[in-house]
């Protein structure tokens, strides 16, 4: 208590704010660190390869999980670029998981700043993907900065629309 009494109220407030900011930065660092922790080693079992082509894979890496309905069914084993600079991902899928040939693959995040993974949405076809086949439908990773820009753009457009309506009302009167 005597240490706090040595400082003015403003200095004490600044110290508390500084410590709070430092705590938040530490929590963010820990969240990023633990969300990027290594995935458990591959289970024993048989797998088959599938491929997916994406325009961008931002943050997805070899070893990341492939999920179906929230359950781990495989992992990304390789990434290469094609002649048109699109990313081709090679995935291992558990042999007992048979996917319809109209299934889709999307790159999603565990959280806003979390690790990425591939989520498979099964299709309705009766024909199944064979080993070595490629997903026909894919969805690229969403980049946080682009999402924020879109939200800001929508907000600006709405604000501009409201201003125009107010001006129209003034002109009508």
Same domain flag for 16 and 55: no
DSSP state string for 103-146: -EEEEEESSTTS-EEEEEE----SSBPPTT-B-SEEEPPPPHHH
73 falls within a domain: yes
Residues 22 and 68 in one domain: no
Residue 40's pLDDT band (cuts 50, 70, 90): very low
Strands 65-68 and 116-121, by their bridges, are parallel
Average pLDDT over the chain, rounded to whole?
Answer: 82
In a domain? residue 41? no
Same domain, 95 and 123: yes
At residue 41, the pLDDT reads 45
Same domain, 67 and 132: yes
The DSSP 8-state label assigned to residue 45 in this structure reads: S
Are both 73 and 125 inside the same structural domain?
yes
| Same domain, residue pair 28 and 66 | no
67: pLDDT confidence band, cut at 50, 70 and 90? very high
User: Where residue 2 falls among pLDDT bands split at 50, 70, 90?
Assistant: low
- pTM for the model stands at 0.61
- Verify that 62 and 29 share a domain, yes or no: no
Does residue 156 lie in a domain region? no
Report, as an integer, the average pLDDT of 82-101. 92
Show the CA angle centred on residue 76, arms to residues 82 and 129, nearest 5°: 80
DSSP string covering 138-169 = EEPPPPHHHHHHHHHHHHHHHHHHHHHHHHHH
How large is the average pLDDT for residues 94-102?
Answer: 92
User: What is the residue range of 27's domain?
Assistant: 2-35
pLDDT at 56: 86
Per residue in 100-157, pLDDT (tens digit) is 999 999 998 877 667 889 999 998 989 999 999 999 889 887 766 677 788 888 888 8
Overall domain count for the chain:
2
Max mean pLDDT range (5-14, 73-82, 149-158, 163-172): 73-82
The answer on 66 and 138 residing in a single domain is yes
**Is 97 part of any domain?**
yes
62 and 8 both lie in a single domain: no
On whether both 9 and 67 belong to a single domain, the answer is no
Q: Are residues 78 and 126 in the same domain?
A: yes
Domain shared by 133 and 94, yes or no: yes
């Amino acid at each position: 208590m005597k240490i706090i009494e040595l400082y003015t109220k403003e200095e004490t407030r600044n110290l508390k704010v500084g410590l709070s900011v430092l705590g938040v930065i530490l929590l963010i660092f820990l969240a990023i660190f633990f969300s990027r922790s290594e995935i458990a080693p591959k289970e024993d079992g048989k797998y088959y390869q599938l491929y997916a082509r994406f325009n961008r894979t931002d943050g997805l890496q070899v070893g990341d999980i492939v999920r179906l309905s929230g359950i781990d069914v495989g992992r990304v084993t390789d990434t290469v670029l094609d002649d048109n600079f699109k990313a081709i991902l090679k995935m291992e899928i558990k042999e007992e998981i048979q996917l319809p040939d109209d299934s889709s693959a999307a790159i999603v995040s565990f959280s806003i700043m979390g690790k990425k993974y591939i989520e498979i949405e099964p299709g309705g076809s009766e024909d199944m993907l064979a080993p070595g086949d490629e997903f026909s439908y894919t969805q690229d990773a969403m980049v946080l900065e682009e999402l924020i820009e879109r939200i800001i753009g929508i907000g600006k457009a709405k604000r501009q629309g409201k201003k125009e309506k107010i001006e129209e009302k003034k002109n009508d009167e």
